[in-house]
Structure 1
Amino acid sequence: MGTRVSYPVEIKMKAVEMRLAGVPVKEILNELNIKSRSQVKTWVRWYKSEETHRFEQPVGKQYTYGKGPAYSSEVEKLQAENRFLRQQNEVFKKVQGIGKEVDRETAVELVETLHNTMTIQDICVHLGISRASYYRWKNKEKDNSKELLKKQIGTLCREHKYRYGYRKITALLRQEQCINHKVVQRVMQENQWQCRVKVKKRKKTGQPYAVAENLLDRNFQSDRPLEKLVTDITYLPYGQKLMYLSSIIDLCNGEVVASSIGDKQDTAFVLDTLAQLPPLPENCVLHSDQGSVYTSYKYQEAVKAKGITMSMSRKGTPADNASIESFHSILKSETFYLNSINRTTTAIVERTVEEYIYYYNNIRIQTKLNNQSPIQYRQSAI
């Protein structure tokens, strides 16, 4: 506990005068070497309530009427008595039925109204109650108001069959009272009254094991077979269930050197595609996006075991892997879109993709390959 500091009366009066003149509290603290902001606030309150005699009270001593310091003159004593009677009269003006025992709600309301001009202790003395009773009643009032608000929110949620979130519930409550939306949100969360119409779907994702640099850097040209490979996954939403195609392309001739079709795009799916690669030369680079399957521990370990250097696109930049994105687009355009296939069997989807990959590698000519197919171009180069 810190050491209590006693300030001279002159310092206290100087602080009050500066504060009443509009000087910021921080500046007062620095100039007069006062430690606490609350002390300045207390001195100003005493000054406004004409209790300047309290400036002389010892540290830790609380003066109340009849128990303060000895008055220096009869005039000062009469002034203190008049002040006490004036405060008492101010309190009684607020109470209906003078002489009757004040009720709990009235006492709490009075203290809240008058505490800026009088101390809570003085108000409680005039009301004939203890300060502990006031705080007990105040806390009970607060608990009652929280319970009432909870009932109101619960009633509105049930009336609208949990179609409204906390924003709309707040808007309804604000038609009759002032309330913060955060309070409404907290109450609804504690009681599980959130909107049940659109449940947010959150996918559990962990931190990626490894994210590689973009070594390819959109340089899609290669003079040697299997020097630069690109891989990606695309959707095949044409069968009885959603299917996926994982493929790897050699940038030297655009040949699809590995592919897999499955109904689940997990790490095992892309590992199956990776396992189809033929023997690779040294310094082979495999480029992909930053999908969780490619950044996973198992995939990275399998890539290292094959002696491959990994390269990855920047986040949200599919153009960094434009070559394989283009192949997947061509595959869908020249099969499913061309034949207007929107819904068919899963077997037909698999057969269509497999037949097209064979056609793409062996038959379909490309201008950039001197009007040869990828395999013809590779054989002629050899």
Structure 2
Amino acid sequence: MKRVNRKYDLEFKNKVISEITKNNYSIMYAAKLFKVNFATINTWLYKNRNPKVSKKSIIEIAPTKKELLVAMRDELNNNSKIKVKDLLIKYNLKKSYWDKYKNIDETYDRDFDIYQRIKKIFDDNLCQFGYRRIRDYYIKEYNTNISTSKVLRIMRKYSIISNFQKRANLVKLINKGRTKSDLTYKDLIRRDYKSVTEPNKVWYTDVTYLVSNNGKLYVSTIIDGSTREVIDYKISNKNNNEFIIKNLKSAINKTKRKGLFKNGMIIHSDKGSSYKTHEYASVVNKHKMIISMGRTGVCYDNIVIESFHSLLKKGTIHNNKLCKKDISIYKKSVIKWYSWYSNYKKQGKYTLFKKL
């Protein structure tokens, strides 16, 4: 049997297109109504599209499935004599789809409940978590499984984004800058960070800067080498010997009050001038601690505390533009972050950064 090629005049084509756009007909319904092949009508619609529309997109005038559902529901409400079966053919909808969504409000958003949970996790953790960490937190907090792709999709949909930069490759940093030099004190850690498994056996300490447009402050922190918990921190407008010793004494007193202090504990730092003074050494020796220092200008020898301060910056100034404008706001943000971090560690949450 030979194939019959039918030719349609321009007037008929325009009539079909106008009826589809005017009455929101589906292409399938129009094909049955005008007895024209489905692909032929689709080609007519494509050729009569808006020229600015990309070729990859479907015709602008073609309504979405949700819009067809609403139109069908409105037509059924206005005329009760029409059969649902006929409307399903007209709007090219499946009966299962109609039965599932016929009573749902068109403004309903099925992602909204999950979004509220994700937003709460994001806000409670100072807007610094990405989708992977939020997904882990979500599963533990709500005891419900959810995929990372779904969390990412919802976060993109509602514009939930943390502002800080991508984490550095710590493995490369550890192996960088290995040079020989004479030390005032020996490096007892020697970048073997994973061997520290017992709490209050090794402490790491360092000073970092808080810089904004109208001022500058200093933060001295001491953290545990095993648990990464903050033993003590101090904020000052001067980076001097008194500031460092005050932080150290406070950490020692807090640990002794809890009955957790151990003789022979190592306090590891860089070769900053304040850590090489006689006053600092006398406090350390008085409490039977041991000084350990990395090399001059090699921050990778003290990467544990450096990484911690990097997290501090990411959670404060890199995640809050107001910190750059006002030093008092920056200081409040830092205090809030330390409080959040301590609470986070007490709850036994998963680690914030990889063990080195």
Higher relative contact order (CA 8 A, sep 6+): 2
TM-score by length of 2: 0.43
**Structure number with bigger Rg:** 1
